[in-house]
Chain A
Amino acid sequence: MVEIRFHGRGGQGTVIASKILADAVSKEDKYVQAFPQFGVERRGAPVFAFIRIDDKPIYIRSKIIAPDHIIVVDPSLIDAIDVTEGLKKGAFILINTGHQPQEFQHLGKDFRVFTIDANDIAIKHRLGSTAAPIVNTAILGAVPRIFNFVKLASILQSVRENVPVNPDENAAAAQEAYESVKGV
């Protein structure tokens, strides 16, 4: 079983990202469970989302305390909270940023960092506004590049099926993100 925690801010589509990833994984006949931090969300406040992926039915339904990997949708959170809390040794950390993975060595030597400039990609594909780009579909494109539990084709299909508008632009952003992950 693989357990991943997403870190974002309310309004960025972090929970939706976890849902679209769950949808993509389930297309590959795997078992999946995705859920937000249970409670009340406020725009701009730190939010969490979680996903469990397995080859067999998933019965455990408690919160994920010690994730295998994390995905940081909003890099400003790295200075605000401990995003590596409970994170297992050998974890991958995917960060949405224009910076290089080496710049995040302070997160710990037990982890491997990958970066993707999802803001830049989202703006290029006109997703959201320049001030508040919609980055979640671009980030999802980076996921199959570093993890082997889901294929890019499934991500692209799930992105197209699940976004309310601009399916082509969102899929193109995911495709571009797949090709531009740093640290691989």
Chain B
Amino acid sequence: MKKVMMGNHAISYGATLSRVQVIAAYPITPQTQVVELLSEIVADQKLKAEFIKVESEHSAMAACIGASSAGARAFTATSAQGLALMHELLHWAAGARLPIVMANINRAMAPPWTIWSDQNDSLSQRDTGWMQFYCQSNQEVLDSVIIAYKVAEKVLMPVMIILDAFSLSHTYESVDIPDQALVDKYLPPFDYKYKLDVQNPHTYGGLTTPEWYMEFRIKMHEAMDQALVEIKKEAVAFKKVFGRYYDTVDPYMVDDAETVLVTSGTAASTARYAVDQLRAKGNKVGNLRMRVLRPFPFADVREQLKNAKKVIIVDRDISYGYHGIWAQEVKSALYGHSQVPVWNFIAGLGGRDIFPETFYDIIAQVGKKKKPDQELYWVEVKK
């Protein structure tokens, strides 16, 4: 069934179809409507779930950790400062190997105070052990929630579904709501092998000496390696049932492209539009949309960029004193495998719009240059 909905509600529908059992969340613009709709769905008894009102995002994640430890499918959603407040417990959820799924609506970090989008909030949680899937449409948001539980429950690692504030969260578009029976078949109930059980008591997360701590960590890393395999497997499995395909990366006209833009989120969607316009003028440009940050798809990135003469990474984020975060990731994947020159542009922080013209300007700025003459370039900033 098709329905016109905003990105926030696409998340709520995704969670409902996934038959989540515990929802614990604290409202924050622009995420609020995710939780509002879920609370209505639960109150109307259309979803058999426990909706826990909490006093902060830290508590929301704590409640999800408790619920997930007891074997429940747990869900939450947040943005920016809310995500930052969860930080300690993000490590805990991943370290405890709990398949929690959370949606994060990208909102720039304060100060100065802001409610608009950029990716610094989620990207700065890169090393917490959460998988991160970046979306470019409301359909992808809904579908990704379902796929996230499938992958998370296979490898016992949590997943963050990420979407841009406003340009997805508050944008209405037509979304196909999958049939519940098909989702049930694709995503059966989860039976957590290590759940809390009073009949069979265990100690969880107890003091671990240097003799064993690293062994826990290598298992997390191996689970992430396995997650990469599962994400690719589920891309095929999901397409078989629902007709839509979500790989780790989403290449558009890269095969014969001399210049490849590397983008993510809704900027990638606009980049794709820009590529069409540039191609119409004979400019051989392609776009590689990064969908998955963790586990990082090294092989896919190298494969998709192997023919490029120039790579331009456009980051809607910044690691102060270094590069954009996607640029670090992609450059690191290319190092030792490719001689291609890589440019890094920082654009669209704090909700500044990224227009097709932004990409035309970037392409023109790179022009016929053989290699970058700066570590990074800022787009459209006032001096």
Contact = CB atoms under 8 A, between A and B. Distances in A.
Contacts of A60: 269-270, 273, 356
A3 to B, nearest CB: 13
A111 interface: no
Nearest to A34: B172
Interface in B131-165: 136, 165
B19 interface: no
B269 A59 contact: yes
A33 B173 contact: yes
A65 B170 CA distance: 18
Given A59-B272, A60-B269, A62-B356, A38 B4 contact: no
Contact of A36 (B170, B276, B358): B170
Contacts, number: 68
Contacts of B165: 38
A109 interface: no
A39 B174 contact: no
Interface string A15-43: 00011001100100001111110111000
A61 B266 contact: yes
A89 interface: no
B174 A34 contact: no
Contacts of B2: 26
Interface in B353-369: 353-356, 358
Interface string A38-77: 1110000000000000000011111101000000000000
A171 to B, nearest CB: 18
Contact of A32 (B4, B115, B116, B272): B4
B167 interface: yes
A59 B165 CA distance: 17
A31 B174 contact: yes
B115 A18 contact: no
Contacts of B172: 18-19, 22-23, 32-35
Interface in B336-363: 351, 353-356, 358
CB-CB nearest 3 A-B residue pairs: A38-B166, A35-B171, A60-B273
Given A35-B171, A59-B272, 14 more contacts: A26-B4, A26-B174, A31-B174, A33-B173, A34-B4, A35-B166, A36-B170, A38-B165, A38-B166, A38-B167, A39-B166, A40-B115, A59-B270, A62-B358
Interface of B: 2, 4, 115-116, 136, 165-167, 170-174, 266-267, 269-270, 272-273, 276, 351, 353-356, 358
